[in-house]
Amino acid sequence: MKTILRKTLLYKSGVEYADFCINHVEGCAHGCVFPCYAMVMKMRCGIIKNYKEWLQPKIVANALELLDKEIPKYKHKIKFVHLCFSTDPFMYKYPEVADLTLNIIERLNKDNIRCVVLTKGIYPKVLVNTQKYGKDNEYGITFVSLDEKFKRRFEPYSASYKDRIKSLKYLHDKGLRTWVSVEPYPTPNLIKQDLKKILGEISFVDKIIFGKLNYNVKSTQFDSNGDFYHDCAETVIEFCRENNIEVHIKYGTQKKDIRKTEKIFIKKTIENLNLINITQPALLL
């Protein structure tokens, strides 16, 4: 795998449910085409040239050295660290990425810093070793459909939904906290599906985050977009209430909620380029 060096690693995220964040890989072999917001931003900033380059991840070779320097600096400000917003920490079929992620989790946990992890890959079973990785981390998967054909179309190189759930359930059964990001949830003109059935597969988790699909032409064109997402959010809230699951509905998903996640995924240096608006039609389905 190719490597890069970075000057900094830990940063304070603007995502509404996050705190500090780490992205220790540049690019992501999962190649989601919802589109992937992180990829679009990196292209707009000239950090990567195209989709093909995005699919060839590069590991941040000095990630652990950076952490050794940055943890003492930020330790007292950090509530938890999210892995990751602009890559995938357990990239499917990339053991080098998983190894580095495990080292990072271990390093953070050593300083009693809790990790909140999100993947479209598979969780390694070693995470149940709470002597090494701590017991307070939260492990999540993205899960928006039961239809594997839909997955192959929109998240072509990620793990199957079935395998993601299986690996998450394993961690849950071993007593670890688990969560699911049901986001970006597609509109019916992309796929007709029963949200209750999807939720039924993940009734064991501790937390569900639900959010709409943004930046997709077809989804935006869906006539009843506002009503649809509002009703879906109500379904998720009701499901979570019945199953005693913590819930967060992403800002702007329900009607009259005009709050927006501020600046997501990208470090201050990129934010300063003032390139938040996404209008690159070639990347939108």
Q: How far is the CB of 118 from ligand SF4 (least distance, A)?
A: 8
Residues from 181 through 200 that contact ligand SF4 (CB under 6 A): none
Size of interface with ligand SF4, in residues (CB under 6 A) = 10
Q: Where does this chain touch ligand SF4 (CB under 6 A) — which range of 24-32, 103-111, 211-219, 242-250?
A: 24-32
CA distances from 150 to 62, 79, 223 (A): 37, 36, 21
> Binder to ligand SF4 among 1, 15, 19, 31 (CB under 6 A)?
31
Q: How far is the CB of 151 from ligand SF4 (least distance, A)?
A: 11
Q: How far apart are CA 119 and CA 254, in angstroms?
A: 25
> Binder to ligand SF4 among 32, 41, 108, 165 (CB under 6 A)?
32
> Hey, how many other C-beta atoms are within 10 angstroms of the C-beta on 36?
24
The DSSP string of 49-71 is -SHHHHTS-EEETTHHHHHHHHH
DSSP collapsed to 3 states, 79-97: CCEEECCCCCCCCCCCHHH
- Residue 88 near ligand SF4 by CB under 6 A: yes
Angle formed by the axes of helices 63-74 and 95-110, nearest 10°: 30
> Binder to ligand SF4 among 24, 26, 30, 179 (CB under 6 A)?
30
Q: How far apart are CA 38 and CA 10, in angstroms?
A: 17
* Nearest of 26, 21, 56, 24 to residue 38 by alpha carbon: 26
Q: Which residues fall within 8 angstroms of residue 239, CB to CB, at 6 or more apart? A: 196, 199, 203, 208, 245
Q: Where does this chain touch ligand SF4 (CB under 6 A) — which range of 2-10, 31-39, 133-141, 199-207?
A: 31-39
Q: How far is the CB of 3 from ligand SF4 (least distance, A)?
A: 18
Cβ–Cβ under 8 Å, residues 74 and 67: no
- Residue 36 near ligand SF4 by CB under 6 A: yes
Residues from 107 through 126 that contact ligand SF4 (CB under 6 A): 120
- Residue 164 near ligand SF4 by CB under 6 A: no
Q: How far is the CB of 35 from ligand SF4 (least distance, A)?
A: 8
Binding site for ligand SF4 (CB under 6 A): 28, 30-32, 36, 38-39, 87-88, 120
